[in-house]
Amino acid sequence: MSKTTLLIIAGASAAAGASLTALVYGSKSKQSTPIPSAPASRPHLPSSNSSVSAFPSSSSTVPASVASLVDPNGLFQYGFPGPVSDLRSGFSLTSSFNRSTRNPHWVAEHITPQSLSISNGDRRHSYFTEDASVPALFRAKLTDYLHSGFDRGHQVPAADAKWSQRAMDDTFLLTNMCPQVGDGFNRDYWAHFEDFCRKLTTKYPSVRIVTGPLYLPKRDPVDGKWRVNYEVIGNPPNIAVPTHFYKVIYGETSPNLGENPTAQVALGAFVLPNAPIANEKSLSDFEVPVEAVERASGLEFASKLPKERRKRLCAENRCEIMVREFNKERPRLIEGGQNKSGSLAPYNQQGRSR
């Protein structure tokens, strides 16, 4: 059966090459719905003295005297429970932060041939930084990564934001990070995937990328049931370690879609396991329908992009990663390193910082 309606390929292990974890989805096509406008600081809610009868009633036979006995909305006099997504618009990225997992829901970036041609930012002057815009109770902290065994993995890579130091600094906020496996993934296959995205600007004048974590179920070999299982790091443990990561890529054929609203967009979605991946693995093996990522993440990525304007990215491009030996490419891909130990220094020689 077609994987566009049934499954999302979700796994690869390094020793054996690749093992698959399939998520089965319904075969019904997804209805496109408009994206609601962004709310203010919190939704419009009734005041604490509002009656429940202010809302549409499921039954018109409930007497007013009974309906006024309770006021669930009185909770709001003490505050709005949430959930709250900390939306941050920076110089080089826009992100939505998940206070529960201490990871972003998604991080969006925009790259062009012009933006990648400018080198005004130097990663040696950037430091990993906690994001003070997130309340301290829900904030990811530098010490959470200390001795965790995971890299502070950029969702928007620093190499995509060289056009200014301020733009590059934005990529080092922890709201742009997730715990990632270092060797074999963050410092290897994932890095080459990011390079693949940058190379798309040789064909498209505008490329947009949304990146984020996933927490996908795996079938238990004993009882056959599906369960979500992931590690949590920090002290106390509070940062979830994603099982997978996604990228949704938009190759825009027009540099200004606002002036050309009928221009086609090459759309591609990929899901990679947070695990070492063999260099021989084809990127196309991780291609999935956009709808599969939407279903797994609870997010929408193309609800305002009509089907007739969409083209399949991997039908227009060879979705393969150019893998190079790290020691040969060290000056280009590894300037300093991603500090796997989680120390406060920006770099060392143990890994990669993009």
As given in the structure block, the two tokens for residue 46 are 């009734």
Could you tell me the CA-to-CA distances from 157 to 16, 131, 142, 160, 161 in Å, in that order?
A: 28, 17, 18, 6, 7
Q: Give per-residue burial for 7-38: e unless 16+ CB within 10 Å, then b.
A: bbbbbbebeeebeebbbebeeeeeeeeeeeee
Amino acid at 218: K
Structure letter (DSSP) for residue 3: H
SS3 109: strand
Instruction: Report yes or no: 154 and 171 within 8 Å, Cβ to Cβ.
Output: yes
Report the distance separating Cα 349 and Cα 326, nearest Å.
Answer: 13
Query: What does DSSP say about strands 310-312 and 265-273: parallel, antiparallel, or unpaired?
Result: parallel
Concatenated DSSP letters for 25-91? Answer: --SSPPPP-PPPPPP-SS-----TT--GGGSPPS-TTS-HHHHTT--GGGGGGG------EEEEE-S
SS3 272: strand
Report the distance separating Cα 209 and Cα 218, nearest Å.
Answer: 27
Q: How many CA atoms within 13 Å lie on the side-chain side of 351?
A: 25
H or E stretch covering 240: strand 239-240
Which is the catalytic residue, given 44, 147, 154, 192? 154
SS3 249: strand
Q: Is 244 a catalytic residue?
A: no
Which residues are catalytic, by number? 154
